[in-house]
Structure 1
Amino acid sequence: MQTDVDEVEQAVATGSLPGWEQVEAHVVDAHERYLPRTEGAVADYIPALAAADPDLFGISVAEVSGSVHAVGAADTAFSIQSISKAFVYALVSDALGHDVVRERVGVNNTGLSFNSVIAIELNDGHPMNPMVNAGALATTALVPGATPAEQWERIRAGLSRFAGRQLELDGEVYHSEMLTNQRNKAIARLLESYGRIDLDPLDVVDTYTRQCSLNVTARDIAVMGATLADGGVNPVTGERVVSPQVCRDTLSVLAATGMYERSGEWLFEIGLPAKSGVSGGIVAVAPGKGAIGTFSPRLDSAGNSVRGQHATAYLSRTLGLNVFASAAHPTDLEGTR
């Protein structure tokens, strides 16, 4: 991914975000700066997504203090899609523990596309990580519940706790995806053949499709990301959603695999754990500080929002969010530096 913020001075901060007014100004500036960009195209392989307005663009920043900044179409609803993978993984990790989920799902990047079948065969049936479709299906299959309906309600309720409000299914998107998800059904059956899914694979695909069809906003995903940034406590509601260790595990996986085969490039350029979805959302998390949520339906060839990537890169640089950025420790001792 190429961004055009190289000329923007890199802010460095290892503590809190800047003051409220400064954050607000940068969020507004990011929106104005990238609103004119028109590269990319909306996802057209899911009919309901193909109808999205390509000009929509919203940005939100949620701080661990509970402050939320929003501009543009930040309160426009869209289906969460693959961003759900991160939060379902967190819920499953919280329920089953670090070791069980790591063994069953994995944490390594495949280096291949998000819906690759070849990656499963190349790795003896291992889904490799929870951010590609194979790993996400294996993760959804692990959600506690005696029936698919119980699993689905646990997912909906859990993601609602992350967002701080009740999230609802977009029925049109769900039905549209169910007509076009043959590849996910094939992946689920393949995982079943390798013993990676113990449930009916078609039930798993149905539940997974429902979780991807939950409606959220850029504000919602910013708050969800800020919950991971705040050690599992929703900074708006004050409710603990998952444990601090689960947040660490989830953010580690996002850093390595959250942007698919471009995760390394994303981390190199932007320096934040992040997750994208083909409806145009991106959530990026700055541990201990907060999270950025963006929404713009035009995607690049990897399925990542073009405007969202540029806006996140800009805010990471101007707000000092890059987890790898540091400055020399000040000292009064001459000759020690």
Structure 2
Amino acid sequence: MEKLLKEILENNKKYCDNGEVAHYIPALASQDKRSLGISLVDLKSNKIFNQGDTDKFFTLQSISKIFTLILALQDKGAEYVFSKVGMEPTGDPFNSIIKLETINPSKPLNPMINAGAIAISSMIKGESNQHKIERVIDFFEPILGRRLSVNQKVFESERNTGHRNRATAYFLKDVGILSGEVEEILDFYFMHCSLDVTCKDIAYLGGFLANQGKTINTEEQLVSQSITQIAKSFMVTCGMYNSSGEFAIKVGIPAKSGVGGGVMAVSPNHYGIGIWGPALDEKGNSIAGVKMLEDLSTKLDLSIF
């Protein structure tokens, strides 16, 4: 496996030059676009295999949306969650707000776009944002075996430049999707997007979903299988922004990307995969990361279809 991952990484490193880091978030603009790493956790052997920049830290960004969705489903139940947020792909960029005003009822189409994730963030139980982010960190700890922390520089950068997210949130407040203080909800949203992780962390998070909501090391059932099925379904249909259909055809496994360059992928009952490559394509996905996943899926016959 180490040999295969090394070959895949070396063959796809060249694609980093074709992408750009997320300059619209100033704190992400300084990332090295040539960075690239891949980690894979094998559920059967409980071993992790790594190649490239797998120990460097980056922020979760939209990958966190999967796990706040899981928490919201546990806190509020599926009926409430999906009364506020839909289940359908959009075909639009992740930060688009055009359909909020044109569809009826006016609610985000799914939890993976920014509008949906902001709505989901408003559903997480907690007396304060600090309490809420601690709940998120507490959730990750038994999966990763360590506590994550918020990257304050990235958090403040997102808070200071997140004007479209702010406009989206106030629109959601106006149409009754959000309850609570908009700025507090946005701060929590920016916090969970700004959690520092590594490729190895992302692989273990993917492995947790591949293991049907059980931790890999202890087999503790943290989340019901039914909730992990919902999460992975959204990853297939909406997880790679408006490239999700193409990704399903070319790679064929549940995955969630983030504009920090991370991609979490899941081979159900087999592997958790973590990718980091901050050079993004025009859709916001790691350009070399997607190429690596295409090769890995072909070599290991991973497609669920």
Relative to the length of structure 1, the TM-score reads 0.87
Superposition map of 1:132-171 within 5 A: 132-171=113-152
| Residue equivalent to 1:200 | 181
Q: Is the 8 A contact 2:241 2:284 kept in 1?
A: no
- What is the CA-CA distance between 1:67 and the residue it aligns to? 1.5
| Residue equivalent to 1:181 | 162
Quick one: distance in 2 between partners of 1:82 and 1:179? 18
- What is the CA-CA distance between 1:50 and the residue it aligns to? 0.3
Q: Is the 8 A contact 2:143 2:216 kept in 1?
A: no
Uncovered stretches (5+) of structure 1, i.e. residues with no partner: 1-22, 325-337
| Residue equivalent to 1:58 | 37
Structure of larger gyration radius? 1
| Residue equivalent to 1:44 | 23
Quick one: distance in 2 between partners of 1:76 and 1:147? 30
- What is the CA-CA distance between 1:206 and the residue it aligns to? 0.3
Quick one: distance in 1 between partners of 2:139 and 2:182? 22
- What is the CA-CA distance between 1:76 and the residue it aligns to? 0.7
Letter of the 1:271 partner, please give it.
G
User: Secondary structure at 1:293's aligned position in 2?
Assistant: strand
> Equivalent of 1:119, from 75, 95, 99?
99
Quick one: distance in 1 between partners of 2:173 and 2:5? 45
User: Secondary structure at 2:18's aligned position in 1?
Assistant: coil
| Residue equivalent to 1:105 | 85
Structure 1 141/162 Cα, relative in aligned 2: closer, same or farther at 3 Å? farther
Q: Would you tell me which structure has more helix in proportion to its own residues?
A: 2
**Runs of 4+ off more than 6 Å:** none
> Equivalent of 1:299, from 268, 280, 286?
280
Letter of the 2:14 partner, please give it.
P
| Residue equivalent to 1:210 | 191
| Residue equivalent to 2:58 | 78
Relative to the length of structure 2, the TM-score reads 0.95
- What is the CA-CA distance between 1:237 and the residue it aligns to? 4.6
User: Which stretch shows the higher mean deviation, 26-35 or 67-76?
Assistant: 26-35
Uncovered stretches (5+) of structure 2, i.e. residues with no partner: none
Question: Percent identity between the aligned chains?
Answer: 37
Superposition map of 1:301-320 within 5 A: 301-320=282-301
Q: Is the 8 A contact 1:164 1:234 kept in 2?
A: no
Structure 1 54/273 Cα, relative in aligned 2: closer, same or farther at 3 Å? same
Quick one: distance in 2 between partners of 1:211 and 1:87? 9
Q: Show CA shifts across 1:125-171 (max 9, x none).
A: 21110100000001111111122222222122223344332111111
